Amino acid sequence: MTLTLSHFIDGARIGGAEMSERRNPSDTQEVVARFPIGGAAEIGQAVEAARRAFPAWRALTAEARSDYLDRVGRMLIERSADLGRLLSREEGKLVSEGVAETVRAGRVFRYFAGEALRVHGRTLGSPRPGVDVETYREPLGVVGLITPWNFPIAIPAWKSAPALAFGNTVVLKPSGLSPVLAHELAGLMEEAGLPRGVFNMVYGDAEAGSALVDHPDVAAISFTGSQAVGSHVAVRAATRQARVQLEMGGKNPLVVLDDADLDRAVMLALDGSFFASGQRCTASSRIIVTEGIHDAFAAELARRAGALRVGHALDPQSQMGPQVSEAQLEKSVAYSAGAAAEGAVILCGGQALQLATPGHYMAPTLIADTRPDMRINCEEVFGPVAALMRVRNFDEALEVANATRFGLSAGIVTQSLSHARRFRAGVRAGMVMVNLPTAGVDYNAPFGGVASSSYGQREQGYAAVEFYTQVKTAYVWS
């Protein structure tokens, strides 16, 4: 069944003249949804609606806003089986991953339902007699959220929940590769009874994105996507002094030391590199292995990766779904071929797969004998492709781990507390994982990276209040 979607502006569903369609990446014969492509006009209407809704929304009690978020969160969790299936149809991750992501989004809403009540100010001692000094946290106004396709519900959730919790109103522009879950989210906001205009959602491409970033009434932009687009967004936002937060790519290292538990190391690499078809900015794309364990680890990982059952995302037998699009698949194949041309050895995969249904399937790909300066180790692929690098010892592993312009997540597998501690202190990354996969973070903890991976304040957890509020300092004398 093909869904017909619409923008959600000022509490109303708005269609459009120009329509686009989204096909199921597991079976491109199936049109999952048709949806309108908005531009500057729709963004303008949505921002205007959000601007009008802001004063009443910010004036509500924190408890009232908390109740709305709690309702949305509960519905996401209650309906996660159906929503997860839809997610899997539009994006291509396994249905189990789609359901888990929907539950996570629900938990994010419920977490921020609690955080809404925990916005604190401070009382300061004034150097002047008779003067009281206090700080308050106030909402920013209208915030623009630009979200990617790889987490069609979790990322819209972890941006819009804190924005709303702290009293802002929202215009969300989701990716055209995952239009369905954004539409479902708008529906849940409506069902939860949010006043009209508080949450708006507009589909669109670069025109709509630029219109949102440049709109003078949008106080802040939170963006997750590519580094190329992100740097453009930052420049445009800075030009008009809008607040901006960017989450971009990664080239995340997973270090495996000689003393690692081999089974666990292989399991962590499989998860980090291939789950969600490698389409996570936290994916382990560079696997750095010390020479004592290298060959045994490489052989076992190649065996397990090669045995992963790639298939339709809705088939419960599948262990890895397709890539999101033809372009993404071609990119993964091209990077793998490029690595081979530079002298690396493909241990498994490297090619697209033709399966029973026409989809964007890629074989899990493990590439050995790569060097830090090869393209495969410098640029983000965003597919089920991992590159192995052999190093002599811990110090070289750390040096290679840091030889990147990105710095999102970094993992180490070791039984040595001392190496784990040195890695945690010395690795240049926003998140460090010891004996855990580089991808798959907790919904209540701050998320973000350093260098070219992230820009601006951290997202999620207790840190989210920093981006979505501003401090007012009040002086009172009487």
Residues involved in catalysis:
247, 281
Q: How far is the CB of 145 from ligand UN1 (least distance, A)?
A: 13
When the beta carbons of 27 and 91 are compared against ligand UN1, the nearer one is 91
* Total Cβ atoms within 10 A of residue 425: 9
Residue 392: is it exposed, middle or buried by C-beta count within 10 angstroms (0-12/13-18/19+)?
Answer: exposed
182: enclosing H helix or E strand:
helix 179-191
Token pair belonging to 50: 């959000």
What pairing do the DSSP bridges indicate for beta strands 142-146 and 12-14?
unpaired
What is the rounded distance in angstroms from the CA atom of residue 179 to the CA atom of residue 86? Answer: 10
Q: How far is the CB of 190 from ligand UN1 (least distance, A)?
A: 26
What is the rounded distance in angstroms from the CA atom of residue 89 to the CA atom of residue 30? Answer: 9
Q: How far is the CB of 332 from ligand UN1 (least distance, A)?
A: 16
Q: How far is the CB of 469 from ligand UN1 (least distance, A)?
A: 22
Q: How far is the CB of 467 from ligand UN1 (least distance, A)?
A: 15
Instruction: Enumerate binding residues for ligand UN1 (CB under 6 A).
Output: 148, 150-151, 224, 247, 280-282, 439-441
Listed in order, strand segments (DSSP E) in 102-151 are 122-125, 131-139, 142-146
Do 424 and 371 meet the contact criterion of CB atoms below 8 Å apart? no
In terms of Cα–Cα distance, which of 298, 309, 414, 413 is closest to 361?
Answer: 309
When the beta carbons of 198 and 254 are compared against ligand UN1, the nearer one is 254
Rounded alpha-carbon distances, angstroms, from residue 36 to 30, 188, 341, 464: 18, 20, 42, 31
When the beta carbons of 298 and 431 are compared against ligand UN1, the nearer one is 431
What is the rounded distance in angstroms from the CA atom of residue 401 to the CA atom of residue 393? Answer: 12
Q: How far is the CB of 47 from ligand UN1 (least distance, A)?
A: 25
Per DSSP, the chain holds a count of helices (H) and strands (E) of 14, 23
